Amino acid sequence: MRQLELEFGQAIIFGCLLLPMVIAVDMSEAKLKEVTEECMKQTNVSIEQANLIMKDDLEKIADEDFSHNMRCYLLCYHKQIGLFDANGPMRDAFIKFMEIRYPNKKDKVLPALRICKHQRDPDSCEQTYKFERCMAHTIEGEL
């Protein structure tokens, strides 16, 4: 049953957010599946939580519903697919990714990056979450 949930969840993930990531960072579906599973294992995130993250609606999830483990999953995933390094977002890769993620709002990506790059937190998982949330809200015009 767990394998079926995992496969179903990954189908949802691939359909929602991973296809743009494949384009953005040139990774195979098999590699993305491996990354998903590895980050789930490292952060103790369930398939349901991973699906929630990958629905690409971060700005719609309440802070209290986004656990610390989920925030660490987000960091793990971004690092594994080449969007973040130890210092945070890798500018060019992240811009390309965001332009694919928000194709009708490409003009908002750089201004959002200028605003959000200053998000700081001693906890790298928290910093990643705050940065991602800031980007989503700023691009969507909610900040």
Specify if 80 maps to a domain: yes
Q: Identify the domain containing residue 117 by its residue range.
A: 29-140
* Domain tally, the chain: 1
Specify if 18 maps to a domain: no
Specify if 113 maps to a domain: yes
Q: Which residue has the higher pLDDT, 38 or 140?
A: 38
Specify if 7 maps to a domain: no
Specify if 14 maps to a domain: no
| DSSP secondary structure string for all residues of the chain | -HHHHHHHHHHHHIIIIIHHHHHHHT--HHHHHHHHHHHHHHHT--HHHHHHHHTS-GGGS-GGGS-HHHHHHHHHHHHHTTSEETTEE-HHHHHHHHHHHSGGGGGGHHHHHHHHTT---SSHHHHHHHHHHHHHHHHTT--
Which tens digits make up the pLDDT trace of 59-92? 677 888 899 999 999 999 999 999 998 888 899 9
Specify if 23 maps to a domain: no
Residue range 40-46: mean pLDDT, rounded: 96
How much is the pTM?
A: 0.76
The CATH code of the domain that includes 41 is 1.10.238.20
Specify if 54 maps to a domain: yes
- The per-residue pLDDT for 111 is 95
